[in-house]
Amino acid sequence: MRGWIYLMMRILRIRSSDYSLSAGFAAGVAVSFTPLIGLHFVLGIALAWLIRGNMIMSMIGTAVGNPWTFPLIWALIYAVGTSVLGRSPGDTDVTTLSYELLLNSPGEVMVSMFTGGLIMGGVFGVISFLLGYVFAGRIRMKLLSIKRNRMKKMVLKRAQHG
């Protein structure tokens, strides 16, 4: 637990604007909704660079896509993609999304997944940006308050001893 707290404090001390931190994280979250496993870091960094977001935060944001969430993400983006494109899943039920399905009809499945991924990545990217922007400012202000209090205590301590 101590390691996670240390990591969080290091992230919060990154010298970037609230916009940059939030935009970087949102870029990572957004690319996590693409079916391009293995390219999420690269895509997240590229998107963060384009929108002037923090690239380190984009890599952290890609953690939204992980072995526990990928099945849910893929089912969601496939369902959204087929719905938006007006396709019927037919024999390809969302619950049976598998590598075998991908090999049997790669074009249809990938187009649906990319379409759904772009839509849902945009939605979750915007949500994570807004939440990150609000909380980054609040957390940064809290850290500044803690830092000021520590400095005051140090000054008082020195004044008492000096």
Pull the structure tokens for residue 125: 């990217």
What's the pLDDT at 15? 73
Report the C-alpha gap between 78 and 72 in whole angstroms: 10
Distances (CA, A) of 33 to 45, 60, 110, 116: 15, 14, 13, 8
What's the pLDDT at 58? 93
Report the C-alpha gap between 116 and 74 in whole angstroms: 9
- Please measure the distance between the N-terminal and C-terminal CA atoms of the chain and give it in whole angstroms: 39
Q: Among 41-55, 81-95, 121-135, where is mean pLDDT lowest?
A: 81-95
What's the pLDDT at 98? 65
Could you tell me which of 116, 130, 118, 110 has the C-alpha nearest to residue 47?
118
Q: Is the dihedral of CA 122, 128, 131, 135 positive or negative?
A: negative
pLDDT at residue 158 tops 90: no
Over the stretch 40-73, which tens digit does the pLDDT of each residue have?
999 999 999 999 999 988 999 999 999 899 889 9
Distances (CA, A) of 18 to 133, 140, 142: 6, 9, 14
Over the stretch 93-109, which tens digit does the pLDDT of each residue have?
555 666 676 667 677 88
Q: Are 26 and 61 in contact (CB under 8 A)?
A: yes
Q: Is the pTM of this model over 0.85?
A: no
Residues 6+ apart with CB under 8 A from 67: none
Provide the residue ranges of all domains of the chain, joining segments of one domain with +.
Answer: 2-161
Confidence class for position 89, pLDDT limits 50, 70, 90: low
What's the pLDDT at 24? 94
Mean local confidence (pLDDT), 78-96? 74
